[in-house]
Structure 1
Amino acid sequence: MNNPYGIPYHLFNAHTGATSNTWTLASYTKEILSVMTCRYGPRDSNWLLCGVEFHNNVPQVWYPGANQAATCGYIIIMLSVEAFSDAKRAVYQLAHELVHTLSTVIGVEAPVLEEGLATAFSEDIIEQLFGEPDKHSYTADTRYRDAAANVRMLLQLAPDAIRRLREIQPAFKLMTAATFEEAGLNVPTFLVEALLKPFSGDKA
């Protein structure tokens, strides 16, 4: 706790850091967005990121007022109640959900590629920002671990694969095998098929 108000430290700027500020979810969001867009390309600017809230459910993205035909609108990131008092878990969840804001297609299940990237990226972020030595322990569900493993395999073959794919098709949910070909990626067929499969999980 960095304040006398009972507010978790990652939600309160105590103005005591090296730049007279301390890390909060707002500044973590800025940092994560900077890293993410540098690696994977820009977010869809038709969707405005409004902020972060907590709820008694799994972390997810919410599109208030939007329907399945919407091509623009607003995004709110919802984190779990556990993340309210756990800064590292909050940043892990935040990084995961921010990947889902790179492109928005409502009503279509995310492919393994998108969920795997979100998982791998969130693990890497807590290692980068917190020096977490056991980053994989934050991913308890084996479905997400398996998806992340497939994405890491892709990135071993081509570290810039995500950016190259998104230059052809910005939306993960609309990518096909042809997207990989047009991006000039020499990826085994079995891996392309695995990455394009719909992901069956509980999170948005």
Structure 2
Amino acid sequence: MSGFTRADRHLSADGLMMIAPDLVAPLADMLERAVAEYGREDWGDWTPGGIALFGTDPSVRRMGEHKAFVVILPEEAGDDDDVALFCLAHEVVHCLDFSREAGAPMIEEGAAVRMSLIGPKYAEPGFAETARDYCMTGPGGEHYAVALLAVEALLEINPEAIRTLRRDNPSWGAITPARLRAVAPGLPDELAELLCEVRQMRPDTERDLALALLAAKRVEGEA
């Protein structure tokens, strides 16, 4: 049973992505919940550019020429409302801060996984529990599991830790091990260090494909 209208969905101008205006309202709701959990958003001069369905990997993409960001959901989310909510809740946390150019630190990734489990009201009973099991044991999700457990450990010590850390400076990248220990006394040093690490969370399939295509073209050119 669908909770979304799917009204006005249409292909992008290049025909590669399905634009989903009906998911903008759920995104706004999830953003409100993320702000309540983790503190204010800091978009600077960036603006929301909508939601699109494309490929298999969810992400937030910046359209530099328009100073807009687009939330990309996997194509399967177009037919499954709970999957759409799960992905939206995760990606919305990455929409809280656009100050960084590098990858997200583990504290941001863990906060995003946690939001995907506590934020949405899923239609299917037990979906959140199934999703957590997948996050903990699913293929290629090892770093996400570590990030989630680290954030949960931090918030167990101080439930206000992330909001406090982001109150004056909302940049996830500005969070340091010393600041973590200050807001969460007793947090082990190794956990504080881990939360500030930047890791490649999953294989970059699109990048790998692009590199493979380039390699194939080189081979053809040399033949």
Give TM-score scaled by structure 1 length.
0.78
Q: Cα deviation per residue 1:161-184 (whole Å; 9 max; x = unaligned)?
A: 1101102431112321233255x3
Structure 1 pair 203/33, CA: closer, same or farther in 2 (3 Å)?
A: farther
Match runs of 1:1-204 below 5 Å: 9-12=3-6, 24-46=22-44, 47-65=46-64, 73-126=67-120, 128-130=121-123, 131=125, 132=127, 133-139=129-135, 140=138, 141-181=141-181, 184-186=183-185, 187-202=187-202
Report the alpha carbon displacement of residue 51 of structure 1 after superposing the two structures with TM: 1.4
CA distance in 1, matches of 2:6, 2:28: 16
Contact 1:58 1:203 in 2 (8 A): no
Q: Counterpart of 2:14?
A: none
Task: Name stretches of at least 5 consecutive residues in structure 1 with no aligned partner.
Answer: 3-8, 14-23, 67-71
CA distance in 1, matches of 2:184, 2:26: 32
Report the alpha carbon displacement of residue 124 of structure 1 after superposing the two structures with TM: 1.5
Report the alpha carbon displacement of residue 110 of structure 1 after superposing the two structures with TM: 1.1
Q: Cα deviation per residue 1:65-94 (whole Å; 9 max; x = unaligned)?
A: 26xxxxx93211001111111111111111
Report the alpha carbon displacement of residue 129 of structure 1 after superposing the two structures with TM: 4.0
CA distance in 2, matches of 1:104, 1:75: 10
CA distance in 2, matches of 1:60, 1:117: 15
The AA in structure 1 aligned to 2:110 is: G
Report the alpha carbon displacement of residue 138 of structure 1 after superposing the two structures with TM: 4.3
Contact 1:124 1:135 in 2 (8 A): no
Instruction: Give me the CA root mean square deviation.
Output: 2.4
Contact 1:110 1:173 in 2 (8 A): yes
Task: Name stretches of at least 5 consecutive residues in structure 2 with no aligned partner.
Answer: 8-21, 205-223
Give TM-score scaled by structure 2 length.
0.72
Contact 2:43 2:98 in 1 (8 A): no
Determine helix, strand or coil for the equivalent of 1:32. helix
The AA in structure 2 aligned to 1:118 is: A
The alignment of Structure 1 onto Structure 2 pairs a total of residues equal to 181
Determine helix, strand or coil for the equivalent of 2:63. coil
Max radius of gyration: which structure? 2
CA distance in 1, matches of 2:5, 2:134: 21
